[in-house]
Homo-oligomer: A and B are copies of this chain.
């Protein structure tokens, strides 16, 4: 079905408010999920909101976000098992405040889950004129290079840069497949590409069911990519999260923020200049101009906002309407 953006935003916020999140928190979760939807990553939008309700239905009530350690240039928080959309957003805002007095700051969050798209936080940082780096770890799901057993999460890593215009944001997962790739392939009876997954007993497989049934997937980018996934796992552990946390619990979130003005005051203007140079670079295919990370997201989001609505599977809207009515606000 088509759903109006405003309606979807209100629906997600409404659902979240039934789980103990106040109006502001519910709006924060909703804003993140709708932004993800508008950027074309529908598996992280209303579909993810349904996952959140399932996770919250299964959980003890969450606790408050607490500060573990804090200095002028560092902040380690415990998310109290709250959804990462809330925890990482709070960390982002507190680090922006710290950048008023420190040109470099580091922040971590543990005991949280579902931190969403890192580009969401990096866009907030860039709007404040700040460069950011984010990485996170999660429960074992991905095999290191040369192994057939899971040790890493899907471990996204991302860099974001302010420019004079739109930010440049690089935001990737370090696994060769996403969880959504597996569930979608299984649903459609499709096979996975060769060489990207193992069964629980360590045989290579292209069967998504075998992977979902205790198997594992490879890291992206061979041994080089595996090293980056390991770095993200260690950065997440620096947040104090468990080495092998259960699924959707105690992810480790690591963020580093720098004020470019302390290093090179004209950086945003020069970054814009470099973006123009990228666009003017001779393409391999004449019809495919060279792109810069995040600009496709911005274009799609503008297009979706102008349309005022987006396409979504009926079952997700129905599940969310059910959740909104099921629990008392």
Is the pair B274, A233 in contact by a Cβ cutoff of 8 Å?
yes
Is the pair A172, B227 in contact by a Cβ cutoff of 8 Å?
yes
Chain B residue contacts of A291, Cβ below 8 A:
146
Is the pair B147, A283 in contact by a Cβ cutoff of 8 Å?
yes
CA distance A170 to B283 in the complex (A): 31
Chain B residue contacts of A264, Cβ below 8 A:
76, 108, 237-240
Within the complex, what minimum Cβ distance (angstroms) separates A289 from chain B? 8
A196-251 CB contacts (< 8 Å) to partner B: 202, 220-221, 224-225, 227-228, 230-231, 233-235, 237-240, 243-244
Nearest chain-B residue to A229 (Cβ)? B170
Is the pair A230, B104 in contact by a Cβ cutoff of 8 Å?
no
Is the pair A146, B108 in contact by a Cβ cutoff of 8 Å?
no
| Residue of B149, B168, B234, B258 touching A282 (CB-CB under 8 A) | B149
Within the complex, what minimum Cβ distance (angstroms) separates A142 from chain B? 11
Q: Does A66 contact B (CB under 8 A)?
A: no
| Residue of B76, B147, B230, B262 touching A263 (CB-CB under 8 A) | B76
Q: Does A293 contact B (CB under 8 A)?
A: yes
Chain B residue contacts of A243, Cβ below 8 A:
270, 273-274, 277
Q: Does A105 contact B (CB under 8 A)?
A: yes
